[in-house]
Amino acid sequence: MERWTFHMIAGPDGTEAQVRMILRAGEDPATYPTLQVSLDGLEVPVDDAAVDYEAPEWKAVQLFTAGGGTQGQWDHLKDQLRSAVA
């Protein structure tokens, strides 16, 4: 069973602007495959921006697609993280 974490990151106006996707694989959180993406679907460098809140996947997808990203992009991003697991 896959274990995912979706951290929502607020932009300057206080609304959700990015999501940090984490595939919790293995025992060491420092090695979990992680990526960060803006809600319009553009991948951005993973940074140390403060997490506004942790969202369930359905909510993260809802915000992502409302921001201009697509379900296909979302699935591709998850596949990208899956491929990073040794």
Per-domain residue ranges of the chain:
4-83
Determine the straight-line distance between the first and last CA of the chain, rounded to whole angstroms.
16
The per-residue DSSP string of the chain comes to ---EEEEEEE-TTSSEEEEEEEE--SS-GGGS-EEEEETTS-EE----PPP-EEE-HHHHHHHHHHTT--HHHHHHHHHHHHHT--
Q: What is the pLDDT of residue 86?
A: 64
Per-residue pLDDT of the chain (86 residues; tens, 9 = 90+): 799 999 999 999 999 999 999 999 989 999 999 999 999 999 999 999 999 999 999 999 999 999 999 999 999 999 999 999 96
